[in-house]
Amino acid sequence: MTAPQPTATRSGRSRGPRGSRPVSVPPFAVISGAQVRQVLQGRERQIVELVKTAYRLHSAGDSVNPPSVFLRFPDRPSSRIIALPASIGGQVRVDGLKWISSFPENVAEGVPRASGVLILNDHDTGYPFACLESSIISATRTAALAALAADWLSRGRRRPTRVGFVGTGVIARYIHTFLVGTGWSFDETGVHDLSADSAAGFTGYLRQSGATGRITVHDTAEQLIRASDLVVFATVAAEPHVSDLSWFAHHPMVLHVSLRDLAPEIVLASTNVVDDVDHCLRANTSPHLAEQLTGNRHFVHGTLDDVMAGRVSVPADRPLVFSPFGLGVLDLATGAYVYDEVARRGELNVVDDFFHELRRYG
**Contact (CB, 8 A) for 261 and 233:** yes
Q: Give the per-residue pLDDT at 3.
A: 45
In this structure, are residues 257 and 171 in contact, taking their beta carbons and an 8 Å threshold? yes
Q: At what angle do helices 328-344 and 33-40 cross, to 10 degrees?
A: 90
Q: Which residues of the chain have pLDDT under 50?
A: 3-8, 11-18
| pLDDT of 358 | 83
**pLDDT reported for residue 6:** 35
Supply the pLDDT for residue 20: 53
pLDDT per residue as tens digits for the range 133-180: 999 999 999 999 999 999 999 998 899 999 999 999 999 999 999 999
pLDDT at site 251: 97
Would you list the DSSP string of 169-195?
Answer: SHHHHHHHHHHHHTT---SEEEEE-S-
Which tens digits make up the pLDDT trace of 287-342? Answer: 999 999 999 999 999 999 999 999 999 999 999 999 999 999 999 999 999 999 99
Give residue 10's pLDDT.
60
Contact 248, 225 (CB under 8 A): yes
Q: How many angstroms separate the CA atoms of 194 and 159, rounded?
A: 28
CA distance 143 to 145: 5
| Cα–Cα–Cα angle for 59, 290, 192, rounded to 5 degrees | 90
Which H or E run contains 218?
none
Kindly list the structural domains of the chain, giving each domain's residue range(s) and its CATH number in brackets, ordered by start.
10-15+27-138+328-351 (3.30.1780.10), 145-323 (3.40.50.720)
Q: What is the DSSP letter of 154?
A: T
Could you give the CA distance from residue 119 to residue 76 in angstroms, rounded to a whole number?
26
